[in-house]
Structure 1
């Protein structure tokens, strides 16, 4: 009788996937997006508490006033982010026109009796116990609409009319509504958003460059037409700017970064937040991060935004749906571009532009909309090739917890 020999069992190293395989799995984009977003959100809440407490006390309020408000916005944004991550890309395509219509109507309300001006910008809606900045929601509506319309026009990009119409005129109209409220900073971010979507869609370079030149001319004309903006630009290029006037905010932001050194003064130990640095919990929160957490803290923020950028570029490269690629390109240009602009202002590489640091700065409308936009991209990451199967094969947190409890009792 012939003897049968069993095949040798594979060694443990052969059974386990390589480290490279683990980092290049179908769900890598999903986990990187979720992880980096939540870490930035937590860091932002901590720094909002630290940077706003002194001003709140000086105003006769609780030191936790701004923090509690930001935490409430986070508690609204996180469920919406989860919901957005569960919606299929096809559903977003069907919602593109309604979302854009709602975004435009909301932006028009800032010119109604409900609208209010803040910091010289007519961009807020005030209701009893509630306020919102509709231009933030318009960003999300515009990027989803661009994804839908550019996918339809892709086969006809050889004809410049199909490549430019209706994407550029309607996008220009949406940006124009924001400019009517004198919010140049938000309009510039929307221009970056449109550029990212057009680039990923593969719009012919002549259209892309032409639209870029037109946008540059409009921004330059608006900047020259405002004495305040001209003053900021001149102060930026001036070597003898008065630190008590035009360069006050920039100089104190740089002082905060310089004081922090390598490891910072310690959480809560900022000196500039004692009413020296305006908008310490908002546009210049990056300076407080540098002062309290040092160079290590600022590099951590840069690294987390780098992870977000890598994950979104990975979705663009791996996803099979052009709609998902275009929308992700627009969201990446919006969030990463806005982060770079904010940090560039704080470190003195750009003139002062009033844009917050995404997920980190205080601001309810910006936080909620950014979380929802990331939820949309996470939904695309969940539908990458093989991602849905890999996520379905992994037990849920509840099932893993019950299994651990069962083993403990046994």
Structure 2
């Protein structure tokens, strides 16, 4: 009898085909993606990777500027400053990421009050500091910081708590405006006062993300959106510099390689030099005082030059994975506070990353916002890490996640106890 006529014996005798294992591997992948800890590891992993890349790229991009600022004493001033803020924020981030949702909700009010009060420092001439044409900075005891960066964090978590408490009442204009709408208007109004249009746009994304996930009716979005477009248009028209940037971007103005177009042109030159694989880490030419803000607003251009298109795509991929992790929390978490706060933070962090990258590659006008977790700047780094600590805490409190993590931790402690050498008897 042939092999075809006796499948049973043939099946027992033959080696398993490669295709036989595909369903098992696929099912394992699906099971891992649906695991209670998948979101937690996704958010933690991408956050850690972006933070590590940021520290390395700040070290590379800031060396020449540090030598200039210190009179040639050290090339590491910019990196050490960034590393200092990262090390200060990391323990706090770990503590916050392990708190329960009820504690995070309680903390949202003190955080909002503190960050709202910090905005008032902009009205004190002795503290106010102007940089790049924007009076958005405060200097106290020699330490400069940007209150609007802290305000993003405070508003995001507070909107999560307030809008979650409102619930179905948000179908009414009155409950949308009080107190969420009024506080949002205060925060974004303070940013407009400093004439920082880029940060104001990020606040708009943050507020829209929170109210959208909270369930505010679309008709309200249309009304507020038209008002916002009018305010932004008036703000742009009132500034010759902003109008010049917009018209140049739209191709209707005369490009000035030494004026408002300089950063965009030189950033694209850096990308072109990098090619597919880059010129090598630390080998950028643009950072030699050629590209302004090389370690801050245009650090993505240095990434493209030194690490090439592949390195830039890796960074984009990490932001995409972070966005997926936050979307999973919005979809899967049972607490509306976690959903709304995560939506606000996602709109802020991912939206700001996309705007920064679009500006660096010439797909948007230059509006001057840092690349989250990567650009130099203590205010941006600390507040972004604090916000993502909340997101990690939400991921940790997804159904079943905490229990699995505790079981794995207990299993690891048991394994270490078995491997540890026993102490001899007296």
Aligned partners of 1:261 and 1:291 also within 8 Å: yes
**Structure 2: how far apart are the matches of 1:398 and 1:116?**
51
CA gap of 1:268–1:405, structure 2 versus 1, over 3 A, is farther
**Structure 2: how far apart are the matches of 1:233 and 1:289?**
25
User: Which residue number corresponds to residue 95 of structure 1?
Assistant: 107
The reply to whether residue 214 of structure 1 matches residue 234 of structure 2 is no
**Structure 2: how far apart are the matches of 1:376 and 1:386?**
18
- Stretches of structure 1 that go unaligned for 5 or more consecutive residues are 1-12
The reply to whether residue 24 of structure 1 matches residue 38 of structure 2 is no
TM-aligned CA deviation for residue 406 of structure 1 = 2.8
Q: Partner of 2:300: helix, strand, or coil?
A: helix
Q: Partner of 1:269: helix, strand, or coil?
A: coil
Residue pairs, 1:221-240, within 5 angstroms: 221-238=234-251, 240=254
The reply to whether residue 173 of structure 1 matches residue 183 of structure 2 is no
User: Which residue number corresponds to residue 274 of structure 1?
Assistant: 288
**Structure 1: how far apart are the matches of 2:152 and 2:271?**
31
**Structure 1: how far apart are the matches of 2:301 and 2:364?**
14
User: Which residue number corresponds to residue 203 of structure 1?
Assistant: 216
**Structure 1: how far apart are the matches of 2:230 and 2:422?**
68
Q: Quote the RMSD (CA, aligned, Å).
A: 2.3
Deviations 1:38-69 (A, max 9, x none): 11011011111111111222332411110000
Deviations 1:213-246 (A, max 9, x none): 2222111111111122112112212364121222
Aligned partners of 1:154 and 1:163 also within 8 Å: no
User: Which residue number corresponds to residue 81 of structure 1?
Assistant: 93
CA gap of 1:206–1:408, structure 2 versus 1, over 3 A, is farther
**Structure 2: how far apart are the matches of 1:275 and 1:259?**
16
TM-aligned CA deviation for residue 195 of structure 1 = 0.5
**Structure 2: how far apart are the matches of 1:377 and 1:339?**
17
TM-aligned CA deviation for residue 286 of structure 1 = 0.2
- Stretches of structure 2 that go unaligned for 5 or more consecutive residues are 1-22
**Structure 1: how far apart are the matches of 2:422 and 2:210?**
51
Greater Rg by CA: 2
Q: Partner of 2:389: helix, strand, or coil?
A: helix
The reply to whether residue 115 of structure 1 matches residue 128 of structure 2 is yes
Residue pairs, 1:4-403, within 5 angstroms: 18-59=28-69, 60=71, 61-112=73-124, 113-238=126-251, 240-395=254-409, 399=413, 402-403=416-417
TM-aligned CA deviation for residue 400 of structure 1 = 7.2
TM-aligned CA deviation for residue 404 of structure 1 = 8.0
Deviates more, 1:319-328 or 1:107-116: 107-116
Deviations 1:290-317 (A, max 9, x none): 0000000000000100110000000111
**Structure 1: how far apart are the matches of 2:42 and 2:161?**
26
**Structure 1: how far apart are the matches of 2:395 and 2:278?**
36
**Structure 2: how far apart are the matches of 1:215 and 1:328?**
23
CA gap of 1:302–1:334, structure 2 versus 1, over 3 A, is same
Deviations 1:8-45 (A, max 9, x none): xxxxx99x982321222101111111110011011011
Deviates more, 1:162-171 or 1:26-35: 162-171
CA gap of 1:119–1:397, structure 2 versus 1, over 3 A, is farther
Aligned partners of 1:164 and 1:207 also within 8 Å: no
**Structure 1: how far apart are the matches of 2:414 and 2:87?**
25
Aligned partners of 1:163 and 1:204 also within 8 Å: no
**Structure 2: how far apart are the matches of 1:402 and 1:152?**
45
CA gap of 1:348–1:358, structure 2 versus 1, over 3 A, is same
TM-aligned CA deviation for residue 405 of structure 1 = 5.0
Aligned partners of 1:111 and 1:122 also within 8 Å: no
What number of residue pairs does the alignment pair up?
398
TM-aligned CA deviation for residue 396 of structure 1 = 6.2
User: Which residue number corresponds to residue 4 of structure 1?
Assistant: none
Q: Partner of 1:369: helix, strand, or coil?
A: helix
User: Which residue number corresponds to residue 20 of structure 2?
Assistant: none
**Structure 2: how far apart are the matches of 1:225 and 1:408?**
76
**Structure 1: how far apart are the matches of 2:41 and 2:249?**
40
Give the TM-score normalised by structure 1. 0.92
Q: Partner of 2:409: helix, strand, or coil?
A: coil
